[in-house]
Every structure is written in structure tokens, then in C-alpha cells.
């Protein structure tokens, strides 16, 4: 089975995506995740095989985030030479350090987070950046300045689209 024939537009972003994406938290973080069973982070060969299999099946969307441990740092080298084959989704707002999540939706942190993700992912643009909500969706969007900052970054060509990964 292949998903190639099922790719479709993602809203009005101009992005064409598979109906399933590949989440990559398990490529970079094995603590503080809510899975019923433990797991081991795969080595680069296994991660590369996973990406190759996903691509062969027609999956073209990769979901990552700074809160996913070293996922972005691993994806950069793993995706070298394949950038145009993937729609990369990352996030801003949540950081995971020393076993704890912390949230910062300020304009300065939003910009820092996107710039850092670009470096880690070894790319000049992120296709879609989502605000990684802590559950206070309305307050984040109304008061933090995160959306205005993402709009600036989009105008600068550093991302193609942005949205919210909400909890309400």
C-alpha cells in the first residue's frame, strides 16, 4: 500500500502532504513521554531505515519539536540531500530540559526557537511551525506575541506557514 496517490493540500499553505505524518519524539527523547511501554531511541541506521520506509510508503510529513529531545539535531543529518522530499513541521513554545517541560511563548524566545530549529534541521526554512501549547490556548494567542512573531518569520522566508497545536 502507498499513500502517494492520497497526498493533498494542507489548507491554503501551498503544502501538499500525506494523510499520515511521521512523529519523531521517539528519535530524540525517551523520558517524560506518555507511552504505555518504554522504548529505546533507535541508532542512526535504524532511524534512517524508518525514514526510508516512511518515504517509500508515501509519507512526506515529519513532525518534530525542540521538546522532542535531540530529534531535530538527528533529523538534520539524516535528511541531508532529501529536503525537497519532506514537509517539515516543528514547534515553538515548549522546551524539555533535565526531565521537565517549560514553556515560553515570548517573541524573543519564539524567534530564538525558530532560528535554532533551522540550524538543527540544517535547512533554510521550516514548512510549518506550530505553537506547542501548554493548554492556555486563548491566552497564548491573545497575550504572548507568538503569532505576530511567527508572521514576521514567515515574511522573512524562514517558515511557510504557522498554526497552533492546542489542547482545548
- The answer to whether the beta carbons of residues 20 and 59 sit under 8 Å apart is yes
H helical segments located in 9-136: 25-28, 44-56, 71-78, 107-121
d(CA 70, CA 29): 7
Radius of gyration of the chain (CA): 16
Q: Given the residues 63, 68, 117, 146, select the one marked as catalytic.
A: 68
Helices 107-121, 146-155: inter-axial angle, 10-degree rounding: 50
- The answer to whether the beta carbons of residues 166 and 155 sit under 8 Å apart is no
Query: Does the annotation count 35 as an active-site position?
Result: no
> Which runs of E-coded beta strand occur in the chain?
8-9, 16-17, 21-23, 61-63, 87-92, 94-97, 100-103, 126-132, 159-165
Q: Which residues are catalytic?
A: 68
Amino acid at each position: 500500500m502507498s499513500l502517494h496517490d492520497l497526498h493533498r493540500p494542507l489548507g491554503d499553505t501551498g503544502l501538499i502532504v500525506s494523510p499520515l505524518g511521521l512523529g519523531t519524539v521517539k528519535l530524540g527523547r525517551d523520558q517524560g513521554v506518555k507511552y504505555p511501554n518504554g522504548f529505546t531511541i533507535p541508532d542512526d541506521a535504524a532511524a534512517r531505515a524508518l525514514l526510508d520506509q516512511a518515504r517509500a510508503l508515501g509519507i512526506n510529513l515529519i513532525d518534530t519539536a525542540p521538546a522532542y529531545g535531540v530529534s531535530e539535531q538527528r533529523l538534520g543529518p539524516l535528511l541531508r540531500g532529501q529536503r525537497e522530499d519532506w514537509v517539515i513541521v516543528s514547534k515553538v513554545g515548549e522546551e524539555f530540559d533535565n526531565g521537565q517541560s517549560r514553556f515560553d511563548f515570548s517573541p524573543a524566545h519564539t524567534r530564538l526557537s525558530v532560528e535554532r530549529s533551522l540550524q538543527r534541521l540544517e535547512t533554510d526554512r521550516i514548512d510549518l511551525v506550530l505553537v506547542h501549547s501548554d493548554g492556555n490556548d486563548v491566552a497564548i494567542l491573545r497575550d504572548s506575541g507568538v503569532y505576530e512573531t511567527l508572521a514576521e518569520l514567515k515574511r522573512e522566508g524562514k517558515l511557510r506557514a504557522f498554526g497552533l497545536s492546542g489542547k482545548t
